Amino acid sequence: MTDQEMVSPVKEVLDKLRPFLLRDGGDCELVDIEDGVVKLRLLGACGSCPSSTITLKAGIERALLEEVPGVVEVEQVF
């Protein structure tokens, strides 16, 4: 699957996770996908939360790796 073909399924997974982020006052935005690396910007409370790295790696990255073929990593951009 090409990076461009991953955009739609990545957005679908993020939409499933979004209610959990919104509940804590945060959100995330897909910035880019490059060579299977999904680049996300954490917004609101998630952007400044000390647990944001755990949210990103243990939550969002795990879901994307399981559900979207071709995703190799999730990276936070600022």
Residue 4 clears pLDDT 90, i.e. is over it? yes
Residue 54 clears pLDDT 90, i.e. is over it? no
Domains of the chain: 3-76 (3.30.300.130)
Question: Model confidence over 7-46: pLDDT tens digits?
Answer: 999 999 999 999 999 998 999 999 999 999 999 999 998 8
pLDDT at 52: 85
- Long-range CB pairs of 19-23 (<8 Å, 24+ gap) are 20/59, 21/46, 21/55
Residue 49 clears pLDDT 90, i.e. is over it? no
pLDDT at 65: 97
